[in-house]
Structure 1
Amino acid sequence: MLPPRPLAARKGRGAVSNLQGRYEVNGRESFDDGWTHDDEDGEPAPFKTQVTDEFAKTILSRNASPDIPFNVSLNPYRGCEHGCIYCFARPTHSYLGLSPGLDFETRIFAKVNAPDLLRHALSRPSYVPEPIAIGVNTDAYQPCERDYKITRRVLEVLSECAHPAALITKNSLIERDIDLLAPMAARNQAIAAITLTTLDPAISRTLEPRAAAPARRLRTIRTLAEAGIPVRVSVAPVIPFVTEPELERVLEAAREAGALSAHYVVLRLPWEVNPLFHEWLQAHFPDRAQRVMNRVREMRGGKDYDSDFSQRMHGEGVWADLIRQRFEKAVKRLGMNLSSGRFAELDASRFRRPLVVPAAAGKQNGNATGQLDLFA
């Protein structure tokens, strides 16, 4: 048996392996049997993206986390082709029997009945409107949205119902929907948050390989702001010795582009994100991998991660406090607002229930997956 090949980065992908999910029963160990071939440039064999239609049963998710600024979220997709190595949603692919590694960014599930499910949810007599955060677990504007347009159809429902929405993305495709978002923003019913992790395109290509380049995201901030849509910048995650040195420059660039407020999150490594990030560090920054993890552990009480609500977003200790001070001083100097509050400022008072509600939320193989119409 040949020895296992060292892990190597794949062009256009964040993860460097298909790490086994924590719920899989059978263990796997990779080895080179001589049948796997690299391409002509010596790159590892590519993983192609597969997008599968999914007929979801529900579409609105609720949370009670005190450190998250919303109660309700909607995710049109599962998995994300952007391939951000730090994505906290990667472990959710384990529930599907897939890997949180390369599978997460190449095996995408599109909730094609999301707009119909949303209409059903908003039409219920018991429904109480409050801002819906769109694209929290995975980016609602990832590449396959260009063809599927699920996010746009969701926004059309929310616009029709005068329902408030908050979007977070790192893709310039959000500009396509300005015709919907600008009128909603004029009614104080829409806000956008653009994630800007680094200004260095070389780091961005490995950290979040299929997201928009940093310069393109800055142009998106400017375009949205000029259309009258309030824009927040999300500096997340702050990675010691990788993106952390740029903290002030990122805020300055975002403010100059038109962002009104900002927030940050230090690197989080829950579940399988932890070993995947370790692999990424060894592949891209082997010279500073140990320094990065030592600093992360200083901010996590000696551990790689602490999930406590009071600590998980910003960490603890001297280094975490230093980052907080740097962030707050930069935000104050730039005349920005700290967007640590909830989305309560969005107006839900004009909400009206949808006039058209499909008889069934979705169909699969010809069978209705929702409640049937009595007279259908």
Structure 2
Amino acid sequence: MDEIARRALKGRGAIGNESSRFERERRVLVDDGWSGAWVPGGDEDPPPLRTTVSDDASRTIIARNDSPDIPFEQSLNPYKGCEHACIYCFARPTHAYLGLSPGLDFETRLFRKRNAADLLAKELRAKSYTCRPLAIGANTDPYQPIERDERITRSVLEVCRDFNQPIGIITKSGLVTRDLDILAPMAAKGLANVSVSITTLDRDLARRMEPRASTPPKRLTAVRELVAAGVPVSVLASPMIPGLNDHEMEAILEAAAGAGATGASYILLRLPLEIKDLFEEWLREHVPDRAARVLSLIRQARAGALYQSDFGTRMTGTGPIADLLSRRFKLATRRLGLGGRRWELDCSQFKPPPMRGDQLALL
């Protein structure tokens, strides 16, 4: 049987679904005669892929890092995989550890950590635990579409509230405002802030590049509602992609500042491991007239490669293209009064709540 070229699927970011770097076999798309009404290679759109959700068997919930490029030491992710389907997502290669593809599998085969709240409470009560700000959503979005029904992120926030555990949320979903009843009181105590990712203000580009994430206007509305409730908000103008969305940097920062954001940061597009091929495939499908130029500009900002993993430069790149982006960001944030991402949260209030059966404290 002849291999069939894959086509973009409505509502999905990746086009390919190649095997992970740990697998020996190679996946190919062929017509097995059971395609029904859809004829591969024809004019009709291929059938949509359904999202499946399975339970994750993790026995711990807090992940720790010592990277000098990341402003937090510990993080929590309620889900593996992300239905937002952002083509550039740096978390895609983690699906390879599950024996799945960082391509379409990453955005259609999701895993939920149903016992996340119980695991978190257990770890926060451990005598060895030292309170540090906890980033929620550093890998995959805690407010991706399935959170509406699963409510795992909300259960985690309830635990953090009860323990006075400081948190920083990272999301590109307007759903975050659902939990203002928890976030606003925590923010009033210096225990919470939110970073909202806004990659582009172009709704058409966002629809193709981040197909199931909230639209740019909805994200800006979320910024306004969070700020109005007293929650400090930073905007992540990330990733900046030379030749594709980098011309929007100042406009994104201006819109965020106008909505009340007080902090900002950006990251140059990162293409580690399988993401390089996935992103190039996406470019040639969706913006074929600019694909070669975008890839050339990325290489110019990565010393001739599509990605470099060196600490200190992996987030910003090197060379004239990267330097110009950095200068533009600094000038814009200075003009708009935007500081850096805020992780100054109060850890002194942390205190595990009493458990049933605990001896009453003596006054």
Q: Distance in 2 between matches of 1:239 and 1:26?
A: 32
Amino acid at match of 1:16: I
Secondary structure of 1:338 counterpart: coil
Amino acid at match of 1:240: P
Structure 1 residues 194-273: aligned runs within 5 Å:
194-273=196-275
Secondary structure of 2:161 counterpart: helix
Distance change (3 Å), C-alpha of 1:5 and 1:30: closer
Q: Distance in 2 between matches of 1:182 and 1:5?
A: 52
Amino acid at match of 2:143: Y
CA-based RMSD: 1.6
Secondary structure of 1:290 counterpart: helix
Post-superposition Cα deviations, 1:296-335, rounded to whole Å, max 9, x if no partner, equal 0000000010000111100000000000011110111111
- Answering whether residue 91 of structure 2 is matched by residue 89 of structure 1, we say yes
Amino acid at match of 1:348: C
Provide the residue aligned with 2:281 in structure 1. Answer: 279
CA deviation after TM superposition for structure 1 residue 24, in Å? 1.1
Q: Distance in 2 between matches of 1:355 and 1:26?
A: 53
CA deviation after TM superposition for structure 1 residue 28, in Å? 2.9
User: Any gaps of 5 or more consecutive residues in structure 2?
Assistant: 358-363
Q: Distance in 2 between matches of 1:203 and 1:212?
A: 13
Amino acid at match of 1:105: E
Contact 2:6/2:29 (<8 A) preserved: no
CA deviation after TM superposition for structure 1 residue 30, in Å? 3.1
Contact 2:80/2:140 (<8 A) preserved: yes
Aligned pairs, number: 354
Structure 1 residues 146-161: aligned runs within 5 Å:
146-161=148-163
TM-score, length-scaled by structure 1: 0.91
Contact 1:119/1:354 (<8 A) preserved: no
CA deviation after TM superposition for structure 1 residue 32, in Å? 3.9
CA deviation after TM superposition for structure 1 residue 357, in Å? 8.4
Contact 1:116/1:357 (<8 A) preserved: no
- Answering whether residue 27 of structure 2 is matched by residue 25 of structure 1, we say no
Secondary structure of 1:337 counterpart: coil
Structure 1 residues 38-77: aligned runs within 5 Å:
38=38, 42-77=44-79
Provide the residue aligned with 1:314 in structure 2. Answer: 316
Post-superposition Cα deviations, 1:18-72, rounded to whole Å, max 9, x if no partner, equal 1211011323333345543638972122110001122321100000100001000
Provide the residue aligned with 2:5 in structure 1. Answer: 6
TM-score, length-scaled by structure 2: 0.94
Amino acid at match of 1:195: S
Q: Distance in 2 between matches of 1:149 and 1:138?
A: 15
Q: Distance in 1 between matches of 2:355 and 2:5?
A: 56
Q: Distance in 2 between matches of 1:272 and 1:114?
A: 28
Q: Percent identity?
A: 52
Contact 1:7/1:283 (<8 A) preserved: no
Secondary structure of 1:86 counterpart: coil
